[in-house]
Amino acid sequence: MTVDLLRRLPPSCWSSIEGELALEGVKVSTIAAKVGTPFYLYSAERLRENWRSLADALTPLGVSIHYAMKACANRAVVSILAAEGAGADIVSGGELARALAAGIPASKVVFSGVGKTDAEIAQALKTGVHQLNAESYEELWRIDRIAGELGLVADVALRVNPDVDADTHAKITTGRRDNKFGVDADRLGRLDNELKAMTNLRLVGLAVHIGSQILSVKPFAEAYGRMRKLVLSLRERGHAIERLDLGGGFGIAYQNELAPSPAEIAETIRTTVGDLGCALAVEPGRSIVADAGVLATRVEFVKEGADLRFAVVDAGMNDLMRPAMYDSHHDIVPVRLPKSDVEYSLYDVVGPICESSDTFAKRRHLPTLAAGDLVLLATAGAYGATMSGTYNGRALVSEILVDSGRWAVVRRRVPIEEQIGWESVPSWIA
């Protein structure tokens, strides 16, 4: 049973010390005693491992990796990846500032996103980002105008919507025709004429991203295959398509899923687009950080309901939104490892927020829990802290990084008094 409990905690960085879980040699309870709960806890070593296993598979093919900042944008986390040589995929001026602050050079930054503002485009061009991925003709015109105003020439890749079903959750599917992303593959005919009039941009390539948490290489192969055809046909029409950005979306195991390995991803890329002579790039987020992070929380009460037993924890949906938003599964692991003869019961693990969607697990079989117990929500490093908020008047959750026995608070908890200070009451009301 215990082995199953720990299945989503990478054994390379988790161990047990005196019957308790420890990350890279640091007991979770030690950190909890110092900083209070809830908090995100990241393993620097696991981040490096994930980065290196993908880079080892892709670098020989000449594929550059632009880490999708939206998955986890903490400056310390991104600094670790920057030191590994990571580029960044950003979707806002804020993420550009974060990437630069973490030490990723502008020359390794790709700017994606469906609604970039004038100010963001100008900021990116002035900073000298590697490439802007445009998602519409309207946006191409906007980039052309702003580059002209700045006296620059913008390097732009056009994001194509390949109309491929990624077979993932509807809310994180992006490559179907009815999604807002990219230009429909069959609307590229207009490019020839329109590009002639855009004198301040250079179409350097194409981009695609079909969704997130994709568990089979099949949709990737299909999408990349379509991109291959488009590259060839655009080249025939005289466009120098030199770059191909293949997006992110590589799935991971939250429960027992079988996720594609870096080797399988590399092989899919090689066989579909490897011979085009394009500079290839990918934009993974989740697969780099998800299993390098957990959310540590404490049981406040075990509440006996009429039919159910609720474990009420001190983390809420404001701290980890994924279960409420996508019905996502996160393994729940007690920090004090249960003895082999411990009883298991069914729990609904819930937070304190005043919504029924504030539920981390339903009818979960867990070792007996009691008030005060620390538990971990596993595989929470991606889209955890970045999506956290302050709903219900809560402090913004803190983030802790562990690196070979050392640990540090890398985002402090933002208390309510400070948040109140962000607001002001107009003089006519006060």
Task: Give the binding site for ligand LLP (CB under 6 A).
Answer: 68, 70-71, 89, 112, 172, 209, 212-213, 247-250, 283-287, 322, 326, 383
Question: Is 13 assigned a catalytic role?
Answer: no
- Nearest approach, Cβ of 248 to ligand LLP (angstroms)? 3
Residue 195, both tokens: 């590009």
Tokens 């590589």, located at residue = 250
Tokens 């924890």, located at residue = 313
Nearer to ligand LLP, 171 or 237 (CB): 171
Rg (CA), the chain: 23
User: C-alpha angle with apex 123: 122 to 128, nearest 5 degrees?
Assistant: 95
CA distance 245 to 161: 13
Nearer to ligand LLP, 249 or 260 (CB): 249
- Indicate which residue of 13, 72, 278, 354 is catalytic: 354
Nearer to ligand LLP, 5 or 47 (CB): 47
Nearer to ligand LLP, 173 or 297 (CB): 173
Where do runs of H (alpha helix) occur along 174-304? 191-197, 217-236, 262-273, 286-289
- Nearest approach, Cβ of 401 to ligand LLP (angstroms)? 20
Nearest to 20 by CA among 347, 343, 338, 346: 338
- Nearest approach, Cβ of 114 to ligand LLP (angstroms)? 9
Nearer to ligand LLP, 331 or 373 (CB): 331
Number of residues assigned to the chain:
430
Q: What are phi and psi of 105, to 5 degrees?
A: -70, 150
- Nearest approach, Cβ of 11 to ligand LLP (angstroms)? 23
Which are the contacts of 50, defined by CB distance < 8 A and separation ≥ 6? 287, 288, 289, 291, 292
> Please, how many CA atoms are within 13 Å of residue 408, restricted to the half-sphere of its CB?
9
- Nearest approach, Cβ of 100 to ligand LLP (angstroms)? 19
Kindly compute the dihedral angle of the four CA atoms of residues 188, 193, 199, 201, in this order, to the nearest 10 degrees. 10
Residues forming the active site: 354
